[in-house]
Homo-oligomer: A and B are copies of this chain.
Amino acid sequence: MAVTQTQGKSPLILFLALLGFCTFGSARSGKLLVVPVDGSRWNGIKAVAEELSQKGHMVTVVIPEVSMQMGPSNFYTTKTYPVPYTKEYLKSLQDAQGKNIFSQKPFLEKITSGLDRIQNMSHFFRLTCESLLYNKELMNFLREQEFDAILTDPVLPIGVIVAEYLSLPSVYLLRGIPCGLDFKATMCPSPPSYVPRFFTTNTDQMTFPQRVLNVFVSVVEPVFCKLLYFLYDDIASAFLQRGVTVAEMMSRASVWLMRFDFTLEHPRPLMPNMVLIGGINCAVKKLLPLGGKLLAVPVDGSHWISMKPVLIELGKRGHTVVVAIPENDHGLVIINVYGFLSFQVLWRYTGPIPDNLPDNIKIMKWLPQNDLLGHPKARAFITHGGTHGIYEGICNGVPMVMLPLFGDQSDNAHRMEARGVGVVLSINQITTEVLLEAVNKVINNKSYKEKMTKLSALHRDRPVEPMDLAVFWTEFVMRHKGAQHLRPAAHELNWIQYHSLDVIGLLITIVVVLVIVTVRSCAFCFRKCCCKKPSLKNKKNKKSH
């Protein structure tokens, strides 16, 4: 049974919402359904949902009863649905992921356990997805609401299927889909000669072997997509009672809010319904639990590093990953603390605190990363390379040491390294000396700071703030019930038509026929003209015989 948590809005918030409603008038307020995805992806979509709610729209967020990070807010209505698993089960899935990254198992064993993990994750996704779709009470409630649009992250396409079922125009908010399904679904050209593929760590300037790899990956991408999403093709087809694929459903999205811009990604073609909102998280100002006093701690040092890295916290999603590393596995926890004596270090750490902690190390369970990076004395940022962290580094112009773990982190990190604003280290080969050397490099080699300052200036110099863009385009889709005028006609063509292979075939046929006819005609004329005499002779010869 679906459990409804009504809005716990304070009188002040209700007043503000009412004020917003009155200001924009009923013509501008609408009803938005939000189906988010758990993990760090939740932060971006939550912020947009709250912003829209504060603008006077009725926002309903649908989440499972059990999740790692998703939850209610004072700003929007939350609808939860029961799921057949517990928080401990979720935690065990996350721990398994962390263990796999740091494990020293042989390659084959790692592959086997990786496949096991994927199977477990797929099972979990199916459970979540079906728990929502077959919750008749909740789905009927959602249908009755007559929403204007849906805002969702399509990477786990629960919201995509809900949108299809309720025939709602969709706004997608995402970083990207690893197999390039986002560009396929939008019919966006991505020439593999200079658009690097995910997981290749290629940049846009590729050597011949790198281009070979890039083309190869682009060829196998559809297979990879099929492997990733066939589960959802099945779920959607069974639920909607007609054959449908995720790619097909995604192709109907109205607007794609992409969490990147061209200070992170390399310049590439885009489609009209793609809106770049990279750095949207930098504007998200959280209320500091320490009332701003926290910032006073590190300022006395000559320079300091924000460490939200390997050792303590790997992105909000990977929160438990590092807690699961045995302290003496790489000896990292102990060694690193004492390796950074010459810096003032801010350390987000939820595990057991090491003994004899030196004075320069400040440990805290939560760290207002974006605000700290904005402090003029922040010199370096050790990060795992998640998009949120990368953009917090760019926004604040702090050079980075990056230790990518999984997903898009490696690609993000290599893009930053290619721009000369950071150094990438391999998590499996790291020692305190290597980390310290890298940190000293980005601090002492002035080119890192200079390039990062320029990159930051480019990123922040924009006509509209990313949050305002996200809000505008979501409202646009709500107002106009979609964005049909941005949908390219390419969607109506099959592969042969799109690449004009039928036309090229016809043109080649015409040319070939013309050439053959011309050659034969010439040959015929030639024979008629030049072979006349011999044929007469032959005749004579024949007669003489």
Contact = CB atoms under 8 A, between A and B. Distances in A.
Contact of A472 (B269, B463, B489): B463
A397 to B, nearest CB: 15
A272 B268 contact: yes
Interface stretch (A44-52, A106-114, A209-217, A427-435): A209-217
Interface stretch (A14-22, A185-193, A513-521): A185-193
Given A211-B503, A270-B269, A204 B461 contact: no
A323 interface: no
Interface centre among A194, A455, A476 (most CB of B within 10 A): A194
A490 interface: yes
Interface in A461-487: 461, 463-464, 468-469, 472-473, 476, 479-480, 485-487
Contacts of A492: 194, 205
Contacts of A212: 503, 506-507
Nearest to A501: B193
The interface centre, meaning the residue of A269, A487, A498 with most chain B CB atoms within 10 A of its CB, is A269
A440 B86 CA distance: 69
A457 interface: yes
Nearest to A188: B269
A435 B475 CA distance: 41
A497 B272 contact: no
Contacts of A13: none
Contacts of A458: 480, 485
A500 interface: yes
A267 B187 CA distance: 11
A453 to B, nearest CB: 12
A137 interface: no
Contacts of A204: 488-489
A493 interface: yes
Among A208, A271, A458: residue with most chain B CB under 10 A = A458
**What band does the interface of chain A fall in when counting residues whose beta carbon is under 8 Å from B?**
35 or more
Nearest to A489: B204
A194 B490 contact: yes
Contacts of A189: 189, 191, 269
A457 B461 CA distance: 29
A245 to B, nearest CB: 21
Contacts of A498: 191, 193-194
A263 interface: yes
A266 interface: yes
Kindly name the residue among A188, A193, A271 whose own CB sees the greatest number of chain B CB atoms within 10 A.
A193
A211 B489 contact: no
Looking at A461, A464, A473, A485, the one whose CB has the most chain B CB atoms below 10 A away is A485
Contact of A262 (B194, B272, B463): B272
A499 interface: yes
A419 to B, nearest CB: 9
A65 to B, nearest CB: 37
Interface string A497-531: 11110111011000000000000000000000000
A273 interface: yes
Interface in A172-209: 188-189, 191-194, 204-205, 208
A180 to B, nearest CB: 15
Contacts of A479: 461
Interface in A260-293: 262-263, 266-273
Nearest to A463: B472
A491 to B, nearest CB: 9
A495 to B, nearest CB: 10
Contacts of A457: 480
A74 to B, nearest CB: 27
Interface in A216-248: 216
A455 B472 CA distance: 18
B215 A488 contact: no
Interface centre among A267, A273, A499 (most CB of B within 10 A): A267
Contacts of A497: 193, 211
Interface string A45-71: 000000000000000000000000000
A480 B488 CA distance: 33
A192 B493 CA distance: 12
Interface string A281-319: 000000000000000000000000000000000000000
A480 B493 contact: no
A329 B472 CA distance: 53
A461 B490 contact: no
18 contacts: A189-B189, A191-B490, A191-B498, A191-B499, A193-B503, A204-B488, A211-B502, A211-B503, A212-B506, A215-B504, A267-B485, A267-B486, A268-B272, A270-B271, A458-B480, A461-B479, A463-B464, A463-B469
3 nearest A-B pairs in the assembled complex, by CB-CB distance: A204-B489, A189-B189, A267-B488
Given A193-B497, A194-B490, A267-B487, 14 more contacts: A189-B189, A193-B493, A208-B503, A211-B497, A215-B503, A262-B486, A263-B485, A270-B270, A270-B272, A455-B485, A461-B480, A463-B464, A463-B472, A464-B464
